[in-house]
Amino acid sequence: MDVEITLRINGSARTLSVDTRTTLLDALRERLDLTGSKKGCDHGQCGACTVLIDGRRANSCLALAIAHQDAEITTIEGLADGERLHPMQASFIEHDAFQCGYCTPGQICSAVAMLREVEQGWPSWVTDDVAADRVTLDDDEIRERMSGNLCRCAAYANIVPAIAQVAAT
Amino acid sequence: MNPFRYERANDAQGAVATLARETNGAFLGGGTNLVDLMKLGVATPELLVDVARLPYDDIEELPGGGVRIGAAVKNSVLAANPLIRKRYPLLSRALLSGASGQLRNLATTGGNLLQRTRCLYFQDVTKPCNKRRPGSGCPAREGYHRNLAILGASEHCIATHPSDMAVAMIALDALVRVEGPSGERTIPLTEFYRLPGDTPQRDTVLEHGELITAVDVPALPFATRSTYEKVRDRASYAFALVSVAAALDVEGGTVRDVRLALGGVAHRPWRATRAEDVLRGAPANAETFAHAADAELAAAQPLRDNAFKVTLAKRVIARALTDLAERAQ
């Protein structure tokens, strides 16, 4: 059944009529011409659909559009500052951190939000002491924290240093 | 996906009243499991009552040293909370071992408790499944079951509960606070989940329309020395084959107190009371830990392809307890 909803995406309010079943991913791709977010598995298992909801990374394929009307949503299209790439985008290019590129928007959105989690001191499964105030972001930490983003081309060997470089600056 | 109506609740009473009027309806939290099950055709609610924005997103200290966790608190926020990390590291670790960063940012505390089994037959509507379609049979007994239950199963269902968080919470004697059509009640987590028996379609003792509002974790001073260990088919982002939540209180080489629970082995998070009984008052050494693990797994009834879990569970119990005992020295 159709309902009118308003989504706030990359700083703009967009009003549209959707079926209640519409996921945020389908609203972005099929209705709002924001095709940067990709549909891989459509079951929350691959991370290709990752967007930022109120600054936090989330799988847009499992988020119902109607349930996220009061959130600030950022997609890969909203990361760059005009023609100036986001540092994570630039680092992925510099490190050749992709092959086919299908998972890349999700990888980049995920990595941007992941670094904020690290800044806030969030521990991970591989953090030795979860009670410690600070996290040392080594390669094992990056791999664990990025495990929700699969790369079928297995560009991980370049994705990890691409992220590490941004983390170090 | 079946069509459904969507309503956003303003308060718990309203949410409960709205759902109580629709027998084929469900509460929507983060949606990470429910929306997926709706896509698969496993869940077919005609009404979703969105409770994700109800004012249950606080983590607060209780008098006496416990913590109250609102049902809408995201899994990621709970895992990162300083109180939880310091007082209950096993709970933080359990949460961090589950799913992915993206999913933990959506998933709620209440929803995590109520997630459904990932048994392949339950998730595949072309197959029989007593949990999804009561009386249709359980192909898992003869089919793919290396990930399924070794304890407490029935001829009707050998599903395992998938939550990591709930394993840590059951070890901590957590209490589930519920608002329902006939008022509020508090259910110990040890009594919240059911064994499958001949009604595997029911995972918990919740009645239709009952809404989880919070989880209370009582004080347990020695839980500062606790851990969650998880063994799975890949290093990250996978459900447990076996997991162990443990807190150990050792003084002068003797186990003064202990909390132990297993994940991935049964229809519910498995509180290991037999092992705990062996451990209390015994020397904190390898022999005791092996004896305790044997006592807990004595009742195991593995199938053709999951007998490895019996040995695995014993070893993970021993490893977790050994690590904690070494830290006590």
Same domain, A24 and A93: no
Across the interface, do B31 and A67 touch by the CB < 8 Å criterion?
yes
List CB contacts (< 8 A) between B100 and chain A: 47, 147-149
Out of A21, A56, A125, the one facing B1 most closely (by C-beta) is A21
Out of B80, B86, B102, the one facing A110 most closely (by C-beta) is B102
Give the three-state DSSP class for B178: strand
Q: Which helix (H) or strand (E) holds B285?
A: none
Question: B113 CA to chain A: closest CA distance, Å?
Answer: 18
Same domain, A74 and A92: no
Same domain, A46 and A104: no
The beta strand positions in chain A, using DSSP E, are 2-9, 12-19, 50-53, 56-59, 72-74
- Return the pLDDT at A1: 80
Q: What is the CATH number of the domain that holds A63?
A: 3.10.20.30
Question: B236 CA to chain A: closest CA distance, Å?
Answer: 6
* Structural domain boundaries in chain B: 221-328
The model's pTM: 0.98
Best mutation target among A3, A53, A59, A149 (most B Cβ atoms within 10 Å) is A59
Assign domain B221-328 to its CATH superfamily. CO dehydrogenase flavoprotein, C-terminal domain (3.30.390.50)
Q: How far apart, in whole angstroms, are the C-alpha atoms of residue A36 and residue A48? A: 10
Strand partners, B215: B69, B176
Q: Nearest-CA residue of chain A relative to B91?
A: A130
All residue ranges of chain A with pLDDT < 50 are none
Q: How far apart, in whole angstroms, are the C-alpha atoms of residue A84 and residue A78? A: 11
How many structural domains compose chain A?
2
Question: B1 CA to chain A: closest CA distance, Å?
Answer: 7
Same domain, A102 and A130: yes
Out of B8, B103, B235, the one facing A59 most closely (by C-beta) is B103
Out of A44, A57, A123, the one facing B92 most closely (by C-beta) is A123
**Chosen domain end from A28, A50, A78:** A78
Question: A89 CA to chain B: closest CA distance, Å?
Answer: 19
Share above pLDDT 70 across residues of chain B, in percent, rounded to a whole number:
100
Q: Nearest-CA residue of chain B relative to A145?
A: B101
Same domain, A48 and A111: no
Same domain, A73 and A112: no
- Return the pLDDT at A153: 97
Count how many residues are written for chain B. Answer: 329
- Return the pLDDT at B295: 98
List CB contacts (< 8 A) between A122 and chain B: 76, 79-80
- Return the pLDDT at B328: 81
**Chosen domain end from A19, A50, A78:** A78
Out of A64, A121, A147, the one facing B35 most closely (by C-beta) is A64
Containing domain of residue A38, as a range? 2-78
Cβ-contact A106, A149 below 8 angstroms: yes
Check residue B107 and report its DSSP letter. -
Same domain, A110 and A58: no
Instruction: Lay out the sheet containing B25-28: strands in order across.
Output: B5-8, B47-50, B25-28
pLDDT tens-digit readout, B39-96:
999 999 999 999 999 999 999 999 999 999 999 999 999 999 999 999 999 999 999 9
pLDDT tens-digit readout, B295-312:
999 999 999 999 999 999
- Give the β-pairing of A50-53 and A56-59: antiparallel
Same domain, A9 and A60: yes
Same domain, A91 and A61: no
Same domain, A125 and A146: yes
pLDDT tens-digit readout, B88-138:
999 999 999 999 999 999 999 999 999 999 999 999 999 999 999 999 999
- Return the pLDDT at B329: 76
Q: What is the CATH number of the domain that holds A96?
A: 1.10.150.120
Q: How far apart, in whole angstroms, are the C-alpha atoms of residue B159 and residue B139? A: 11
CA B78, distance to chain mean position in Å, is 15
Strand partners, B5: B47
Question: A20 CA to chain B: closest CA distance, Å?
Answer: 7
